[in-house]
Chains A and B, each alone.
With several copies, the nearest count.
Chain A
Amino acid sequence: MNDVTCAIKSNKKIADQVYEMEFYVNDDLIERPGQFVDIKLDGFFLRRPISVANKAEGSITLVYKVVGEGTKMMSSLKKGETLDLLMPLGNGYDICKAESTEDGDIYLIGGGLGVPPMYLLASSLIRAGEKPKVILGFNTSEEVFYEDKFAALGLDVTVATVDGSHGIKGMVTDAMPPEAGYVFACGPEPMLKAVYERSRDGQFSFESRMGCGFGACMGCSCRTKYGSKRICKDGPVLDREEIIW
Chain B
Amino acid sequence: MVNTKVELSGLTLDNPVIPASGTFGFGKEFAEFYDINILGSIAVKGTTPEPRYGNELPRIAECAGGMINSVGLQNPGMKAVCEKELPELAKIYNKKVIANICGSSEEDYVKCASMLDAQEQVGILEINISCPNVKCGGMSFGTDPNTAAELTKAVKAVVRKPVYMKLSPNVTDITEIAKACEAAGADGISLINTLVGMRIDIKRRSPVIANETGGFSGPAIFPVALGMVYRTAKAVDIPIMGIGGISSARDVIEMIMAGATAVQVGAANLSDPFTCKRIIEELPEVMEELGIEDLSEIRGCAK
A209–B269 touching, CB < 8 Å: no
- Check A233–B29 contact: CB distance below 8 A: yes
Give the size category of A's interface with B: 20 to 34
Interface residues on B, range: 35 or more
On whether A47 and B32 interact (CB within 8 A), knowing A211-B60, A217-B23, the answer reads no
Known A-B contacts A214-B29, A217-B25, A221-B57; A44 and B62 likewise in contact (beta carbons under 8 Å) = yes
Pair A222/B62 contact, Cβ less than 8 Å: no
Is there a chain B Cβ closer than 8 Å to A220's Cβ? yes
> Given that A46-B62, A214-B29 are known contacts, is A219 also in contact with B53, CB under 8 Å in the complex?
no
Contact B63 A45 (CB under 8 A): yes
In residues 164-211 of chain A, which contact B (Cβ within 8 Å)? Answer: 208-211
The answer to whether A218 touches B29, judged by C-beta atoms less than 8 angstroms apart, is no
Residue A83 interfacial (CB < 8 Å): no
List residues of chain B with CB within 8 A of the CB of A211: 59-60, 67, 69, 267, 270
User: Do B57 and A222 have beta carbons less than 8 Å apart?
Assistant: yes
By a CB distance below 8 angstroms, the chain A residues around B71 are 217-219, 221
B218 within 8 A of A: yes
Give 1 or 0 for each of B19-61: 1 = CB within 8 Å of chain A CB.
0001111000110110000000000010000000110011111
CA distance A162 to B57 in the complex (A): 28
B29 and A216: CB pair below 8 A?
yes
Per DSSP, chain B at the interface is loop
Interface residues of A in 132-183 (CB under 8 A from B): none
Please indicate which of the listed interface residues B61, B218, B273 has the most CB atoms of chain A within 10 Å of its own CB: B273
Q: How far is the CA of A77 from the CA of B127 in the complex (A)?
A: 46
- A216 lies within 8 A of B30 (CB): yes
Contact of B25 (CB < 8 Å), options: A1, A40, A44, A216: A216
Scan residues 57-110 of chain B and give those whose CB is less than 8 A from a CB of chain A.
57-67, 69, 71, 74
Q: Are B271 and A45 in contact (CB under 8 A)?
A: yes
When C-beta atoms are compared, the residue in chain B nearest to A67 turns out to be B203
* Given the contacts A46-B67, A220-B60, A3 and B74 also touching, CB distance less than 8 Å: no
Q: How far is the CB of B60 from chain A (nearest CB, A)?
A: 4
B103-144 interface bits toward A, Cβ cutoff 8 Å, 1 = contact, 0 = none: 000000000000000000000000000000000000000000
**A125 proximal to B (CB < 8 A):** no
A223 at the interface (CB under 8 A from B): yes
B29 near A221: Cβ-Cβ < 8 Å:
no
Distance (whole angstroms) from the CB of B216 to the closest CB of chain A: 11
A222 CA to B61 CA in the complex, in Å? 16
**Among B45, B67, B269, B273, which residue has its beta carbon within 8 angstroms of that of A45?**
B67
Instruction: List A contacts of B59 (CB < 8 A).
Output: 209, 211, 218-221
Q: Which of A1, A86, A209, A222 has the most CB of B within 10 A?
A: A209
Distance in Å: Cβ of A222 to nearest Cβ of chain B: 6
Name, among A3, A46, A216, A220, the residue most crowded by chain B CB atoms within 10 Å (CB to CB): A216
Q: Which partner residue on chain B sits nearest A48 by CB separation?
A: B62
How many whole Å from A228's CB to the nearest CB in chain B?
6
Question: Does B208 reach chain A (CB closer than 8 Å)?
Answer: yes
Contacts of A111 in B (CB 8 A): none
Instruction: Please give, as numbers and ranges, the residues of chain B lying within 8 Å of A220 by CB-CB distance.
Output: 57, 59-60
Residues of A contacting B63 in the complex (Cβ-Cβ under 8 angstroms):
45
Interface centre among B32, B60, B69, B74 (most CB of A within 10 A): B60
Complex CA gap A96/B274 in Å reads: 34
Q: How far is A212 from B270 in the complex, measured between Cα atoms in Å? A: 4
B289 at the A interface (CB under 8 A)? no
Chain A residues closer than 8 Å to B218, beta-carbon distance: 45
Q: Flag if B208 contacts A209 (CB, 8 Å).
A: yes
In the complex, B297 has a CB within 8 A of chain A: no
Cα A9 to Cα B24 with chains together (Å): 34
What is the interface of chain A, defined by CB distance below 8 A to chain B?
Answer: 1, 3, 40, 44-47, 86, 208-212, 214-223, 228, 233
Q: Could you write out 27 A-B pairs with CB less than 8 Å apart?
A: A3-B273, A45-B63, A45-B64, A45-B67, A45-B218, A46-B67, A46-B270, A86-B273, A209-B57, A209-B59, A210-B60, A211-B60, A211-B69, A211-B270, A212-B269, A212-B273, A214-B29, A216-B24, A216-B273, A217-B60, A218-B54, A218-B71, A219-B60, A219-B270, A220-B60, A221-B57, A221-B74
Closest 9 CB pairs of A and B: A212-B270, A219-B60, A209-B60, A209-B58, A216-B29, A216-B25, A218-B74, A215-B29, A46-B62
